[in-house]
Amino acid sequence: MNTVNATSGPKILHWETLTKSQFDRLDRSRCCVLVTCSPLEVHGPHLPFGADALEGEGLAEQMLRHLPERHRDRIFLKIPYCYAASDPVPQPGSLSFRPSTTIAFLEDLGRSLAAQGFRDILVSNFHGSPRHFLSIETACDRVSRERDVRMVSVFSIVVGRLTTGNSDLDAVLGEIPGVNREDLMGDTHGGLVETSQLLALHPEWVDPAYKTLPRRTVEIWLGEKKAARSEPKSGKLSTVPTMLRSFKDTIRFFSVETYSGTPAAASPELGERFLGVLAENAAQAVSEIWDGTLPREQWHSPLWKLRFLFVHPWMVRLMNRLVGVPRTIS
């Protein structure tokens, strides 16, 4: 994987390349298993379908470079990414799974790893759907409590530290030098942040036509449709009715559009800065977990207490009906 300054971090072993002899020589008590769980979905006309997974892997690898020396001598084992994720953009090319599928996959993975003696499992992600990252959190929490291991959703911890409500990071990333904060408003998918990060991580997979793409957001689209805006200017999903209206508008928007934000403002330099801020915060949280100073109840996103509304199968079916989530993508 071509990542920024790839030689500067701790060594990563790729699970699929190991032989039995190599695996048996590992001290599993000193290992940390890395896996990314993000969708394959449409990201505008300019980014690869695997953008979220590639960003999730990039976040995890950048995080390792920010770990303090006391944790850098661990053995890091990377498992190929999983693309079982819910709520992708409803466009042909996206692959959609139920939250229960994500939970089941990660639970089985965590239990298998715990049974083999692994104690630390970090699940990365870069898909901001609450149903997806709460599915990851649910699986991690169940396995951690059941098997007495530390299985953690890295993305959720970062969201918990840098936001007060949902997965919007504009308030934090807007302070980075070189960023026009207005470009981050409504930047939820395939816009400035993701295009910049992919330019830093995998420029060979970014279509240069990103420089010509106009700014598009749900708000702009609703204005064009002369529809009342359904979410507050703060972008915080403060009530259930507000969340339902916002999700419904988002689904309608992405049924006709493939990105939200300002991809033309992206650059690899901004991508490196975005990744650096997120990775530094992730590394700090993981270090506190490994040091035993971050209690388990703080291993979650701000929406953790509402997880029943997002991941329980009955609520998933009800939500799909209420907001019009398509059963299949065609």
pLDDT in tens, 80-136: 999 999 999 999 999 999 999 999 999 999 999 999 999 999 999 999 999 999 999
pLDDT digits (tens, 9 = 90+) for 38-47: 999 999 999 9
State mean pLDDT over 288-296: 96
Average pLDDT, the chain: 90
Could you tell me the strand order of the sheet in which 120-124 lies?
Answer: 12-14, 75-78, 31-36, 120-124, 150-153
DSSP annotation of 190 reads: S
The pTM score is 0.90
- Pick from 220, 311, 308, 301: nearest CA to 257: 220
- The lowest-confidence range among 31-45, 121-135, 213-227, 240-254 is 240-254
Q: Which helix H or strand E contains 34, and what residues bound it?
A: strand 31-36
Give residue 3's pLDDT: 39
β-bridge partners, 76: 12, 32
For 12-179+275-323, CATH gives 3.40.50.10310
Token pair recorded at residue 137:
């959190």
Which of 101, 70, 72, 69 has the alpha carbon at shortest distance from 85? 101
pLDDT score, position 326: 76
| CA 65-67-69 angle, 5° bins | 105
In this structure, the number of other CB atoms found within 10 A of the CB of residue 73 comes to 10
Q: Which amino acid is at 265?
A: A
- Say how many Å lie between the first and final Cα of the chain, rounded: 31
Decide if pLDDT at 247 tops 90: no
Query: Any idea which of 1-15, 241-255, 313-327 has the lowest mean pLDDT?
Result: 1-15
